[in-house]
Amino acid sequence: MNRSEMMGVFLSEAEDLLQLLEMEILNLEQQGESPQIIQNIFRIAHTLKGSSAAMGFEEMKQVTHEMENILDKIRNQRMPVTQQVVDLLFQCLDHLNGLKREIEQEGYAKTGIDSIVRQLRQLEKGTAENAESLRTRDKDHNQPLRKWRCKVRLSEHCEMKLPRAYIVFNHLKKWGTVISSEPDLDSVIEDTDLREMVYIVKTNADSDALRQALSQLLDVEAVEVAPVSHDHPADACVSWPEAGKDAEPDNPIPGPGRKEEKKIGQTIRVDVEHLDNMMNLVGELVIDHTRIAQVGSLLRDRYSSDETVDDLERISIHFSRIIGELQESVMKTRMLPVERLFNRFPRMVRDLARTLNKEVNLLLEGKETELDRTVIEEISDPLIHLIRNAIDHGIEEVEDRKNEANPLKARSKFGHLIRKIRWC
């Protein structure tokens, strides 16, 4: 695959990822803090970071990397989800969309990222200071330190196991002191067979907190945490089920890697130009079939008793059915769920409602309806215009609704409208 083809795949994937990112941030704002939503946003940012890094677009890589730092703190319960966080995530989304458009038009990103990166780091720094004060307070309360044996299993789909093992190691250092690791990560050269690691950690955190924090790391499939007993070291041993058995580890918390084991590769991306070319070829086949049918009719008139003419008619009928099915299949490949269009509306409604100081609840139905790609593109702008007008002119502000509940104010407003109509 050459650079041009890779660019097309990257832009198409980035478009889908950014749209998913927008929907998940909206869900976060509407539904509140949810581990699943946070994990979804983290996955999207991580995927976009990887693809942009592979293509050499450092600006997108840097922004998504800083987003990951914020999201990691949120999912480890070291940062609350506030309106400031949501607004900043939306700013990141807008910045990423702008970078994608520049890459699409110019071949590179030219907008600076210093401002958005600075805001993300300031937010992270403020949270880190709060976390440090909390840790100091916990120490003041003389929380007991305990040793835990943390066994971590990575997903078999993890491509860089050794770097991931170091990430787990560094993450545990935030909770306390990592006494040892097995195997010794510094002695590992090839990470091909590195899938299970054991860390001995001394901390005042409990086992549930450690297990939850580790299980939320990327590519972590399962986690076991057990106390280390000085008298009975064997009490700390944990083991995974033997290969081929259906048993699961005791109370495992499946990490992100487990969800990625589902079957993949069921869809492929196809350029619309290729579909248009296929449709044109099908049209040519329809024309040729019509001509064959006409020739068959002429031959039937001339050689009514010839078996060859009968064979030609049977072939023509079969050819007609095959062409019809082919034409229907090609047309279906151009069909897209209208959800692709509807997904643009929630963010637009959210921003417009905040600008106009109005309370708006958007309800979308029939998102599974399929339309031709061209039709979706044609109706996009008119639908956006209708929704904007409905919010701008069809929904009153909260204060106006309250005023209408007051008879005196309502009469005053009605009189003003009458005077305005007479003046017109």
* Active-site annotation, residues: 46, 68, 389
Alpha helices in 76-160 (DSSP H): 83-106, 114-140
Cβ neighbours of residue 225 under 8 Å, at least 6 residues apart?
Answer: 148, 149, 150, 151, 207, 210, 211, 214
User: Angle at Cα 39 formed by Cα 270 and Cα 60, nearest 5°?
Assistant: 55
DSSP letter assigned to residue 234: G
- Please give the backbone phi and psi of residue 291, each rounded to the nearest 5 degrees, phi first: -65, -40
Strands 335-337 and 370-372: antiparallel
- CA–CA separation, 157 and 150 (whole Å): 21
Q: Is 67 exposed, middle or buried (0-12, 13-18, 19+ CB in 10 A)?
A: buried
- CA–CA separation, 78 and 2 (whole Å): 44
- CA–CA separation, 125 and 183 (whole Å): 33
Query: Which helix (DSSP H) or strand (DSSP E) does residue 402 occupy?
Result: helix 398-404
Query: Which helix (DSSP H) or strand (DSSP E) does residue 66 occupy?
Result: helix 58-75
